[in-house]
């Protein structure tokens, strides 16, 4: 672990590092290693969503059955329910060999690889139910891996490097999406879907090898955590005489599930509500706009090839550049200033889409707007992940971060469902201005928390 900066450095406005040190953050082994863990985290995602849908449809499976397969994705939204188990339960043999985080990481990656390989060996028409069950195994293992990788990322380095860890994670994740998307399609085109999924299972070896190479992070449990758990046990009368199996289970539940929430609110006081509100609204502007992005490009008259070229080429590199810039800014200035900047840039780029909507179709203008949007989105993502990471207590890393990551997308996805209604009623220029205005509360709240600090 690196030496921590003075706790009041950011509050006093002092930079945490000079620019040279901030840029060199990406040479740190654990920061660089997050590329490979990000790749392992991103690889299964499309293989149980759009890539799987394409495989099934290509084999003639009905659209209604394909629609049912989308329910597999529910596992990513409810991972907070088994995060406490990952935080507290050691695995026989594996935990003694690899440690608390790497043991669960290895088990999850083996589950993903086995599930993908199993799917490849089955017949789509006669064994559809088995493919669905294996897809659930892949999604469950993948979301479990997400929990553990997030916990490892937070515990492996100090808070000042969390922006850089987020940036390298995003880079690896994006590479994996290309492999599981375009890569799987190419393999299927020139060989078969069976070969494609076997190849993806083999690529999980990247994650397995990384897990075996990296070092287990130091697990520090502040002394006040034990006192907090004792107080909770006492309040629930779980410290009374007698120690039957039901009481032991109740005590475990109180310490693993109740304590993380109590600890967060007791540590942050009244500010906890402001923090949770910011988490819930920070992605509103970005996700709401994203729902209508592709329909907007098509309605402007751009071809699918033009959209793919601009969004995949410019979009990919600008997202990576934005994420890397966000990591540097977090290292240089702390978390809250880049968080505020990211919120402002995301809202501002939505105004650029409104300008695009009232302009004559221009591929150059489209590339410029998408580049600005992806750069700001990458920067905001790095800062936001670093912010969420800074909110966790290392005694409950997996549980608290799983809660935050679920909260950050749920309101935005619910509100995003009304995007088409607004476009149909008022048109694209109004919609993008509306999406920009949705970013104002996040800007104001981030500024408020910065001043409050």
Segment 403-417, tens digit of pLDDT: 888 888 778 777 777
Query: Taking residues 248-267, what's their average pLDDT?
Result: 87
Query: Taking residues 273-277, what's their average pLDDT?
Result: 93
Q: What whole-number percentage of the chain has pLDDT above 70?
A: 95
Q: Residue 30 in contact with residue 153, Cβ under 8 Å?
A: no
Is residue 231's pLDDT more than 80? yes
Q: What whole-number percentage of the chain has pLDDT above 90?
A: 48
Length of the chain: 453
Higher-scoring residue by pLDDT: 390, 241: 390
| Spatial separation of the C-alpha atoms in residues 348 and 435, rounded to whole Å | 10
Higher-scoring residue by pLDDT: 69, 105: 105
Q: Which residues contact 106 (CB under 8 A, 6 or more apart)?
A: 94, 98, 208, 211, 212
Work out the number of other CB atoms within 10 angstroms of the CB of residue 268: 14
5 pLDDT tier (thresholds 50, 70, 90): very low
292 pLDDT tier (thresholds 50, 70, 90): confident
Is residue 82's pLDDT more than 90? yes
Is residue 22's pLDDT more than 80? no
Least confidently predicted of 13-22, 28-37, 88-97, 148-157 = 13-22
* Per-residue pLDDT at 121: 95
Q: Residue 394 in contact with residue 221, Cβ under 8 Å?
A: yes
Q: Residue 236 in contact with residue 246, Cβ under 8 Å?
A: no
Least confidently predicted of 45-59, 307-321, 363-377, 420-434 = 307-321
| Spatial separation of the C-alpha atoms in residues 256 and 399, rounded to whole Å | 8
* Per-residue pLDDT at 441: 95
Is residue 6's pLDDT more than 70? no
Q: Could you identify the residue written with the tokens 């046990």?
A: 233
Query: Taking residues 270-279, what's their average pLDDT?
Result: 92
Is residue 7's pLDDT more than 50? no
Average pLDDT, the chain: 87
* Per-residue pLDDT at 4: 41
Looking at domain 257-452, what is its CATH homologous superfamily? MFS general substrate transporter like domains (1.20.1250.20)
Is residue 3's pLDDT more than 60? no
Is residue 1's pLDDT more than 60? no
Looking at domain 19-213, what is its CATH homologous superfamily? MFS general substrate transporter like domains (1.20.1250.20)
Is residue 178's pLDDT more than 60? yes
Is residue 10's pLDDT more than 80? no
Is residue 91's pLDDT more than 90? yes
Is residue 393's pLDDT more than 60? yes
CA–CA distance from 76 to each of 5, 49, 290, 402 (Å)? Answer: 35, 12, 19, 10
* Per-residue pLDDT at 242: 60
The segment(s) of the chain belonging to CATH 1.20.1250.20 are 19-213, 257-452
What are 442's two structure tokens? 């996040």
Higher-scoring residue by pLDDT: 392, 9: 392
427-442 pLDDT, tens digit each: 899 999 999 999 999 9
* Per-residue pLDDT at 445: 94
Query: Taking residues 197-217, what's their average pLDDT?
Result: 97
16 pLDDT tier (thresholds 50, 70, 90): low
Is residue 2's pLDDT more than 70? no
* Per-residue pLDDT at 15: 55
323-347 pLDDT, tens digit each: 999 988 988 888 999 999 999 999 9
Is residue 123's pLDDT more than 50? yes
| Spatial separation of the C-alpha atoms in residues 239 and 232, rounded to whole Å | 9
Q: Could you identify the residue written with the tokens 């410290």?
A: 239
């Amino acid at each position: 672990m690196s030496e921590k900066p003075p706790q009041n450095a950011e509050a006093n406005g002092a930079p945490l590092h000079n620019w040279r040190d901030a840029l060199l953050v990406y040479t740190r082994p654990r920061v660089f290693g997050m590329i490979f863990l990000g790749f392992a985290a991103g690889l299964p995602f499309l293989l149980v969503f759009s890539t799987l849908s394409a495989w099934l449809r290509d084999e003639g499976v009905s659209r209604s059955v394909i629609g049912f397969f989308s329910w597999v994705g529910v596992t990513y939204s409810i991972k907070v329910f088994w995060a406490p188990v990952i935080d507290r339960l050691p695995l026989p043999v594996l935990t003694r060999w690899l440690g608390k985080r790497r043991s669960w990481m290895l088990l999850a990656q083996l589950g993903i690889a086995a599930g993908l390989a199993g799917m490849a060996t089955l017949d789509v028409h006669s064994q559809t139910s088995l493919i669905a069950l294996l897809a659930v195994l892949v999604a469950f293992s993948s979301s479990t891996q997400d929990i553990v990788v997030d916990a490892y990322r937070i515990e492996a380095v100090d808070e000042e490097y969390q922006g850089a860890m987020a940036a390298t994670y995003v880079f690896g994740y994006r590479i994996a999406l290309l492999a599981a998307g375009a890569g799987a399609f190419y393999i299927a085109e020139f060989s078969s879907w069976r070969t494609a999924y076997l190849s993806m299972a083999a690529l999980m070896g990247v994650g397995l090898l990384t897990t075996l190479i990296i070092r287990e992070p130091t697990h520090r449990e502040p002394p006040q955590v034990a006192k907090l758990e004792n107080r909770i046990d006492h309040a629930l009368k779980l410290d009374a005489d007698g120690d039957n199996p039901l009481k032991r289970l109740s005590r475990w539940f109180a310490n693993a599930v109740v304590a993380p929430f109590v600890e967060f609110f007791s540590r942050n006081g009244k500010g906890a509500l402001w923090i949770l509100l910011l988490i819930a609204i920070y992605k509103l502007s970005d996700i709401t706009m994203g729902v209508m992005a592709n329909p907007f490009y098509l309605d402007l008259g751009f071809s699918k090839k033009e959209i793919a070229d601009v969004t995949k080429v410019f979009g990919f590199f600008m997202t990576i550049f934005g994420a890397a810039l966000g990591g540097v800014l977090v290292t240089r200035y702390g978390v809250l200033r880049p968080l505020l900047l990211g919120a402002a840039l995301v809202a501002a780029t939505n105004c650029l889409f409104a300008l695009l909507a009232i302009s004559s179709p221009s591929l150059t203008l489209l590339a410029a707007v998408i580049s600005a949007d992806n750069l700001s989105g990458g920067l905001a993502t790095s800062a936001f992940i670093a912010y969420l990471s800074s909110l966790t207590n290392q005694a409950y890393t997996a549980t608290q971060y799983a809660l935050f990551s679920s909260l950050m997308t749920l309101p935005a996805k619910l509100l995003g469902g009304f995007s088409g209604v607004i476009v149909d009623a008022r048109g694209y220029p109004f919609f993008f201005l509306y999406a920009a205005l949705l970013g104002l509360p996040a800007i104001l709240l981030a500024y408020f928390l910065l001043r409050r600090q």
